[in-house]
Structure 1
Amino acid sequence: MIHQLYPQVFHNYRYELNKDMHIAAAHFIPHEKAGKCANMHGHIYTVNITVAGDELDDAGFLVNFQELKKLIHGKLDHSLMNEHQDWFNDKNSNDFPTSEVIARKIYETVQAYLDTLPNKPTCLQVFVRETPTSYVVYRPKAGER
């Protein structure tokens, strides 16, 4: 069971939903400055997705937890992240599978899904913990949605 406190996002929405998941995956950072991380290695990532909105859907959900898990855990768990070429590549540092980029790609995927929902919830932040002592929070800048 995950017991984690996450940075709070202050907002004016009625509802806030948080989905936690663990993702066991390998990656390597294709750059000489990555040091040991240039070698393939694995993590058990802790991911938290924060979604907010004012309206529930016809089933009474802001967003179905299962859909978020399918989108992210279903794609990344037990995989080599570098092989997800729709998210990552070894040419552009903005697309290397670093924790920062992983958090942004999760955000982009979740928000694209949320944009298809009639109640139009929004992803406020994505938290990705790579190790017990290192984590990243991705939040879109105001007006970027």
Structure 2
Amino acid sequence: MKVKTEGTFDASHFLENAGKCGNLHGHRWRIKVSVKGEMNGDLLWDFRNLDEVIEELDHTHLNETLDFNPSAENISIYILNRFKNDYPDLEFKIRVYESPKSYAEIETNEY
């Protein structure tokens, strides 16, 4: 079984050692989550799991909220690890868009 969900949040950040992106700026971030696994009951995975992540990050300054350099790549790893820890039997693909055409993507078997 596969399920997919997505959501958005607004947050500011800056990237260390990244030219113009080293300046404080903000994005409307979009996260897409794909989940694959065996059904054990009525739900494979609760969509509210993504809502919890979005609530944590929405309208924050990511450099203060997270303890790592908040690039799209690092945020995708953070979300993947969070979901893998809670659901080790499921496979995930995480996409983190920082603009409509630019995103980082990671899957369970890549990290």
TM-score normalised to the size of structure 2? 0.89
* Count of aligned pairs between the two proteins: 111
Name the counterpart of 2:81. Answer: 108
Name the counterpart of 2:13. Answer: 27
Q: Distance in 2 between matches of 1:30 and 1:54?
A: 41
SS of residue paired to 2:76: helix
- Which of structures 1 and 2 has the larger relative contact order (alpha carbons within 8 angstroms, sep 6+)? 2
CA-atom RMSD, angstroms?
Answer: 1.6
> CA-to-partner distance for each residue in 1:93-142, whole Å, 9 max, x for gaps?
xxx21111111111111111213xxxx3x232101111122111112336
1:20-99 equivalence runs, <5 A: 20-31=6-17, 34-57=18-41, 60-70=42-52, 72-85=53-66, 87-88=67-68, 96-99=69-72
For residues 123 and 81 of structure 1, do their structure 2 counterparts lie closer, same or farther at Cα, with a shift above 3 Å needed? Answer: farther
Q: How many percent identity over aligned positions?
A: 28
4+ runs of 1 displaced by more than 6 Å?
none
Q: Distance in 1 between matches of 2:100 and 2:50?
A: 24
Question: Between Structure 1 and Structure 2, which shows a larger proportion of helix residues?
Answer: 2
Question: Between Structure 1 and Structure 2, which shows a larger proportion of strand residues?
Answer: 2
Q: Distance in 2 between matches of 1:43 and 1:123?
A: 28
Which amino acid is the alignment partner of residue 84 of structure 2? Q
Q: Which runs of 5+ in 1 are unaligned?
A: 1-14, 89-95
Q: Distance in 2 between matches of 1:129 and 1:67?
A: 18
In terms of Rg, which structure is larger? Answer: 1
Q: Which runs of 5+ in 2 are unaligned?
A: none
Q: Distance in 1 between matches of 2:38 and 2:109?
A: 20
